[in-house]
Chains A and B, each alone.
Chain A
């Protein structure tokens, strides 16, 4: 069985397991939906990490996705979840296309810094825009799917199932992308940019495309988070949100498209448990875990599962 088939089997198994778990354990649904939504943003970040870039500004697109989905419901009465998710990721993609022209020239800490500055600009804008609720944000109109409500007590499973399917589709498409020639350039760019240029490929262009993909995934994740939580605020664009994505991405590793989701679910579980029991030490635990991972598992938690010598 080759790597592509193996990933497909893993993802299908994960999808079935998640759906079954959600049906059996209703309290799990909310947490898992949020985790899967944020997992989408982390998935995009993982693409950038594979290219050797760390963005401390994915919150920009996460927030954009959430706000465009939210305002579409709030001001135009659109409630169909599929439409909202599509718009959320499209808006993020359009902005990423524009900003990508700029960011594709930057590497290393300068890439991180500029993306951070850009997301803080959006944060500053939203905090001061009263029409969008300033620092409080606003509530998201309950979404529907094909005309029926998918939030509240009865509909929650549908939203959860939708999140599972969306995450599945995103992971599978990104995995397929990794196996295209353009996708395979990621590792090459990380290892040696100059040689990629010698081969005749444009590094700038490749990074630009990857950036747009990563950002539309962040937008998708943001829209999904907004629909699930039912409330959005400017915090989503603050640098600590972006930092959280980086944290999960580093922790999970870039070994497989399933890793970001696994990492995200773990992160949300740890967060909700830690919040209840020791709200003042959970960041301490997170930071320590991150240091341990950087030192002893430079390829993330996923490298513990990966088959030796046959990393996907």
Chain B
């Protein structure tokens, strides 16, 4: 029983940051029809920015409790710089091309960003462990977890609710849904579509960076850390259904739980269990578990 609980909690912790990353991926795909392979690099950029900015903050002897805000701030800065730079500088010239061409374009961006990270931060690992341990531990039915892990879960839940609220309750969000539904009609109705594209990509980049910034204290920040995250995030959005918000939540939970179940019960299958689930979902429901009907436009 306790082991089962451990599986669920571990899974939820793993799912939390993955969800924040994947929600950005699915948002970008939903609006722009771009499956962003550079998303993992944005995640890594967020982690690096958080590690160096947060490290500088702590080294300066400032309040360690403010370092959480610094982590998020670092991610927002990354998103605000990288998002518009990529969207305005590159992607906007590619709209209208095939989805697969866009995939290749973002693959090229991934290659570029991997080296940009090495150029800026070098190849040595960065650590920023203080925010992780600072909040102490929490005993939970005989299991001990760092409080930070629960903070991660809370952040993920609030992010999900926040994005859903923006999309469904605010005017820009509703307009964005209109753009998703029909780009050309929205243009004709006077919606500034390219502004929405810019905002979406920037928001997606920010979410990826926040995912990276919040995991930075729990891992060592090393070159290539985005390489695995991108396939994990792909697995999440593919399982849930590309472009679906509840799908990303469900996908993240499934990936998290499958992984932690594998780690606890059958460590040999840890790595491929996630991809097995991804492949199975693709086989049974190619458009993902939450994919709605696509209205045919003539």
CB of B278 within 8 A of CB of A287, answer: no
Residues in B whose Cβ lies below 8 Å from that of A127: 271
Query: Does A240 sit within 8 A of B, measured CB to CB?
Result: yes
Shortest beta-carbon distance from A28 to chain B in Å: 26
Query: Does B69 sit within 8 A of A, measured CB to CB?
Result: no
CB of A280 within 8 A of CB of B115, answer: yes
Number of A interface residues in the complex (CB < 8 A): 39
Shortest beta-carbon distance from A57 to chain B in Å: 10
Shortest beta-carbon distance from A290 to chain B in Å: 4
Number of B interface residues in the complex (CB < 8 A): 43
Query: Does A21 sit within 8 A of B, measured CB to CB?
Result: no
- Give the distance in Å from the alpha carbon of A123 to the alpha carbon of B119 in the complex: 29
Q: Mark A277-312, 1 if CB is under 8 A from B, else 0.
A: 000111110111011001100000000000000000
Residues in B whose Cβ lies below 8 Å from that of A125: 272
Residues in A whose Cβ lies below 8 Å from that of B104: 54, 246, 250, 290, 294
Other-chain contact of B275, A121, A243, A250, A284 (Cβ < 8 Å):
A121
CB of A281 within 8 A of CB of B282, answer: no
Closest to B102 in A: A109
Residues of B92-125 at the interface with A, using a CB-CB cut-off of 8 Å, are 93, 98-101, 103-105, 107-116, 118-119, 123
Other-chain contact of A128, B112, B114, B271 (Cβ < 8 Å):
B271
CB of A109 within 8 A of CB of B108, answer: no
CB of B111 within 8 A of CB of A109, answer: no
CB of A120 within 8 A of CB of B231, answer: yes
Residues of A82-125 at the interface with B, using a CB-CB cut-off of 8 Å, are 102, 105-106, 108-110, 112-114, 116-118, 120-125
CB of A243 within 8 A of CB of B103, answer: no
Closest to B223 in A: A280
Residues in A whose Cβ lies below 8 Å from that of B245: none
- Give the distance in Å from the alpha carbon of A18 to the alpha carbon of B297 in the complex: 53
- Give the distance in Å from the alpha carbon of A173 to the alpha carbon of B32 in the complex: 41
- Give the distance in Å from the alpha carbon of A295 to the alpha carbon of B102 in the complex: 11
**B101, B108, B242 interface centre (most CB from chain A within 10 Å):** B108
Residues in A whose Cβ lies below 8 Å from that of B118: 280-281
Q: A109-B35, A116-B231, A128-B268 are in contact. Are A121 and B276 (CB under 8 A)?
A: yes
Q: A54-B104, A106-B286, A112-B103 are in contact. Are A288 and B275 (CB under 8 A)?
A: no
Residues in B whose Cβ lies below 8 Å from that of A108: 98-100
CB of B111 within 8 A of CB of A110, answer: no
Closest to B37 in A: A243
Q: Mark B254-298, 1 if CB is under 8 A from A, else 0.
A: 000000000000001111110110110011001100000000000
Closest to B275 in A: A120
Residues in B whose Cβ lies below 8 Å from that of A294: 101, 104-105, 108
Residues in A whose Cβ lies below 8 Å from that of B93: 295
Closest to A291 in B: B108
Residues in A whose Cβ lies below 8 Å from that of B116: 284
CB of B275 within 8 A of CB of A287, answer: no
Closest to A290 in B: B108
CB of A284 within 8 A of CB of B115, answer: yes
Residues in A whose Cβ lies below 8 Å from that of B282: 106, 110, 113-114, 117
**B116, B234, B287 interface centre (most CB from chain A within 10 Å):** B234
Closest to B276 in A: A121
Residues of B whose CB lies within 8 Å of any CB of A are 35, 90, 93, 98-101, 103-105, 107-116, 118-119, 123, 227, 231, 234-235, 238, 242, 268-273, 275-276, 278-279, 282-283, 286-287
Q: With A112-B100, A117-B279 given, name 6 new contacts (CB 8 A).
A: A54-B100, A114-B283, A284-B116, A291-B108, A294-B104, A294-B108
Residues of A whose CB lies within 8 Å of any CB of B are 54, 102, 105-106, 108-110, 112-114, 116-118, 120-125, 127-128, 239-240, 243, 246-247, 250, 280-284, 286-288, 290-291, 294-295
21 A-B pairs in the complex with CB atoms less than 8 angstroms apart: A109-B103, A110-B282, A113-B238, A113-B282, A114-B283, A116-B231, A116-B234, A117-B235, A117-B279, A117-B282, A124-B269, A124-B275, A128-B268, A128-B270, A280-B118, A283-B111, A287-B110, A287-B112, A290-B108, A290-B111, A291-B112
